[in-house]
Amino acid sequence: MAPARQQIDKATLEKHLREKQPEGGTFNIWHSRYSGLKPDFSKKYEKAKFRCHAAKDTGSTSGTHNPNAFFCVYFAKGMCALGANCAMWHRVPTLDDEVETTVDCFGRDKHSDFRQDMGGVGGFSTINHTLYVGRITNPTDEKLRRHFGEWGELDRVHVLRNRGVAFVTYKSRLNAEFAKEAMMHQSLDNKEVLNVRWATEKQMQEEGVTDPTLESDAMQKKMAMVERTRMHQPESQLQEYESDLPAEFTSQKRTLEDTGLDDIKRQKRIQDLDEPQWQPDLPEPYEHSQAHLPSLPPPRPMPPQPSSAPSSSTGLIPQNVLQSLKQLSGNRPPSKATKPTPVAALGLADYGSDSESD
């Protein structure tokens, strides 16, 4: 491959960038645009000054053999001033190129969702291969394929002649991203200024345009919703959900049910949930610790003891407890309590006095 040529000189590029950059305002990094300024509609539909010609401008650069490089966005716009010294790739993406979905083919970070005007780098939540091309003068299928086919292999082109609108679908996401930057504010065979944006799913449905990538994403979301409601909805409502799915998804579901693979996967998920979780080593309870000890003979039963009525205690230890202890020590029946002998009362005659009376 021959070295890439310099599309414009450095002074022309710097002058063009100064004209495009507005004075004042704030650059919004989330939407890649300036905010806080009044829009200048006179420059909004101004034709691009430069254009890339893939047959002439494609060539080798210093980043050709760098697998971590990206495509040059200035090359796509036809205004790269570095030429062979550029660290990016100066060529059109092919079907063999692969770039992660969080960045576009130029290495710019994507957002989670598309912008409201469907411009910019796009979003990584949905893979979009279709471009909306507006403000076309006398649109024809041959004209669109000739101009947009320069930036990659086309899948289909849908032309709305009465409205001057067309939907161009590429086979690769990278080619769609490259063509969006290369054809923005360009013209076809007339002097029109094209408005190239990402096509919305609503626009494609209204015009009868189909994009397999958008349909597969929508069907996957719908199948996930059916799976979530399967455990909570009756069979009649599930059939209504599944009736909206295409035949290839429902046939795959029936195949899984007939072969039993669906039940096997469901049982495997249940077993994974029922598996005991890891627990730290804790001291065993008394019952489990006794199970590891050797078995011992049962204890000898004690002979039944006659119940004795509780008696009043004259000290700290009750009388019935003392009698039980005596019975165990001597195996003798408890002795009957003897009544204490009453002390003879003193008579009046034995009464003495210290004083003597004559």
Side-chain-facing half-sphere of 337: CA atoms under 13 Å: 7
Task: Provide the pLDDT for residue 19.
Answer: 82
CA distance 168 to 148: 8
Neighbours of 153 (CB within 10 A): 13
Strands (E), 21-171: 26-28, 33-35, 130-134, 154-160, 165-170
Task: Provide the pLDDT for residue 110.
Answer: 92
Structure tokens at 258: 């007939």
Task: Provide the pLDDT for residue 311.
Answer: 47
pLDDT in tens, the chain (358 residues): 899 999 999 999 999 888 877 666 677 666 556 676 666 655 667 899 999 999 999 999 999 999 999 999 999 999 999 999 999 999 999 999 988 889 999 999 998 889 888 988 999 988 999 999 999 999 999 999 999 999 999 999 999 999 999 999 999 999 999 999 999 999 999 889 999 999 998 888 877 676 655 555 555 555 555 455 555 555 555 555 455 555 555 555 555 555 555 566 666 666 666 665 555 554 555 445 455 555 556 666 666 655 544 444 456 778 888 888 888 776 555 555 555 555 554 454 454 555 554 4
Q: Where are the domains of the chain?
A: 10-91, 110-207
110-207 CATH fold: Alpha-Beta Plaits (3.30.70)
Task: Provide the pLDDT for residue 132.
Answer: 96
Task: Provide the pLDDT for residue 320.
Answer: 82
Place of tokens 């046939």: 251
C-alpha distances in Å from residue 114, one per residue of 111, 135, 304, 344: 7, 22, 91, 122
- Please, is 327 exposed, middle or buried when counting C-beta atoms within 10 Å of its C-beta (0-12, 13-18, 19+)? middle
Task: Provide the pLDDT for residue 348.
Answer: 47
Which is it for the CA torsion 200, 202, 206, 212, positive or negative? positive
H-helix or E-strand spanning residue 195: strand 195-198
H-helix or E-strand spanning residue 196: strand 195-198
CA distance 217 to 127: 8
Side-chain-facing half-sphere of 23: CA atoms under 13 Å: 1
Residues in CB range of 191: below 8 A, 6 or more apart: 47, 137
Predicted structure pTM score: 0.58
CA distance 103 to 157: 26
